[in-house]
Structure 1
């Protein structure tokens, strides 16, 4: 389909990039699975965390579309999915306005989570929104200086999973509007459970950066793939996969968890298939479908992991 055949409504859907929403939902699913295991599950905070994560993801997508276009990172040689600002489908100011409105909606929703989780959630929310803009915008765009991988690992992995667990535990164990982090609301297990989500989310970006390496090098976008080459990016991909699949092994030897925490290992053959492509391909024609497969891998791994975490003992 040429850009001339895309309606304005379709263009807004493209800009929102709904195919990226598994990356927003997955950490909430895992954090909620652990909350169920620890008997601190709270439905309303979990739902608010899910919607808030989706809004931050969409706001970040709008920001990427807008800032990549105005900074010249999206060219006619781009092999990735259609960008509406660079492609002239939606004017830049409208995309920018949509970005701010989406982030504003996430902040508005976040006021409820701040009531539940207090100052820690306020800090996390403001940092998440600021980083979503700073990923490609502002005076020092993170994605343009090789910090995109760290941004994704921290905010779409560690912060999102641990934050989801925390707001549910805080609703059950803490007073509203707490200032510090109350005891037992952020156990080490919540941090460790976040690592697979962080690693697989980062690998989505690694696939993207390998695909765009040549164009990024010409437009001044200094991703890790551009800075250190294909070999480094592929080694990073393998390391992130190894981390993701090692974490369930830590949980399975803990007495309060069951062998069901190993359920995510069922996705390993699919991960191997993706890896074979990553180790040999660089073209957008091949890696665009691989990006979608990485999203499916993240979603499947997260659902299986959440199920395994949520069951404190095997049913008789």
Structure 2
């Protein structure tokens, strides 16, 4: 079979299309909800205390999505440069190895997204506090170092905790702070389940790619735990996040309406079941999708519960 025919077969199995879809895949849209959810939750937490500034919310949301998309592009670029991605790789945008987009174009777009996010950051800082600039620059640096630099964080056991901390706790904290100009311990505690769910997305990705990553010298948690151990750890993280949520509702930190977040358990269960007994990366794609959907559904329902509580303060 020729390289072109093999490439076409892989694209067909992944349901990849040409044209605009190429650039859309480059963004890895299934990960962008991990940028939306914490901004939404942080802003809704602020809305429970006072009215919010819509334009600050919009600027923070767009900046967060741009940074996430840029991080995905750095991932695409550096994994290609290091020879980790090829036309058979599953779970990547594939714009370089399968669609022929020039690597320098991907890198340029990533840097451009960072610049735009930086400009939005200037507006956010001018409207709130310039200390946000320091946190924002650190976050962008870690977004780059996640797969860039001499020692990529994504290749170590610290990828999940780094992603969860910056894409969960930090973004929720900033989104809350720019609206109220203060930060509270309760906000940071509420951010923990969201941070965990963000981390599970990376863990699911690493479970799927475990064999290939190990061959290329990575030391992710999925490699250290093994396939079965990683699935158990993923389940433990899900359970822990829901236990914290229940405790926050019980103590009144979250409103009673937040019980609706437990509807996301359906997707979490599907994710765990989807990994059991599977070995091929393509077979595990539905499980990884369910993991990302767990984060999306939980975060949207959590933010929605806070919004409902504003108008129906029951519990």
Size of the aligned set, in residue pairs, is 302
Cα distance in structure 1, aligned partners of 2:147 and 2:229? 22
* 1:106-145 paired onto structure 2 within 5 Å: 106-145=117-156
Asked whether the 8 Å contact 1:35–1:168 carries over to 2, the reply is yes
Match of 2:25 among 14, 18, 26: 14
Cα distance in structure 1, aligned partners of 2:293 and 2:22? 23
Cα distance in structure 2, aligned partners of 1:23 and 1:247? 19
- TM (norm. structure 1) is 0.88
Residue 247 of structure 2 corresponds to residue 250 of structure 1: yes
2:200 aligned partner:
203
2:233 aligned partner:
236
Give the deviation of 1:56 after TM superposition: 0.5
Give the deviation of 1:125 after TM superposition: 0.9
* 1:5-44 paired onto structure 2 within 5 Å: 7=18, 9-44=20-55
Cα distance in structure 2, aligned partners of 1:213 and 1:252? 36
Asked whether the 8 Å contact 2:26–2:95 carries over to 1, the reply is yes
Asked whether the 8 Å contact 2:242–2:262 carries over to 1, the reply is yes
2:167 aligned partner:
156
1:299 aligned partner:
296
More displaced 10-residue stretch of structure 1: 17-26 or 2-11 = 2-11
More displaced 10-residue stretch of structure 1: 159-168 or 78-87 = 78-87
C-alpha distance 226-115 of structure 1, shift in aligned 2 (>3 A): same
Partner SS for 1:28: helix
Partner SS for 2:32: helix
- TM (norm. structure 2) is 0.88
2:280 aligned partner:
283
Asked whether the 8 Å contact 2:255–2:314 carries over to 1, the reply is no
Which structure would you say has the larger RCO, counting Cα contacts within 8 Å and 6 or more residues apart? Answer: 1
Provide structure 2 residue ranges, at least 5 long, that are not aligned to the other structure: 1-6
C-alpha distance 257-67 of structure 1, shift in aligned 2 (>3 A): closer
Give the deviation of 1:82 after TM superposition: 4.2
Asked whether the 8 Å contact 1:270–1:297 carries over to 2, the reply is yes
Provide structure 1 residue ranges, at least 5 long, that are not aligned to the other structure: 171-184
1:55 aligned partner:
66
* 1:67-78 paired onto structure 2 within 5 Å: 67-78=78-89
More displaced 10-residue stretch of structure 1: 185-194 or 36-45 = 36-45
2:4 aligned partner:
none
Once superposed, what is the RMSD of the aligned Cα atoms?
2.2
Asked whether the 8 Å contact 1:33–1:309 carries over to 2, the reply is yes
Cα distance in structure 1, aligned partners of 2:90 and 2:127? 44
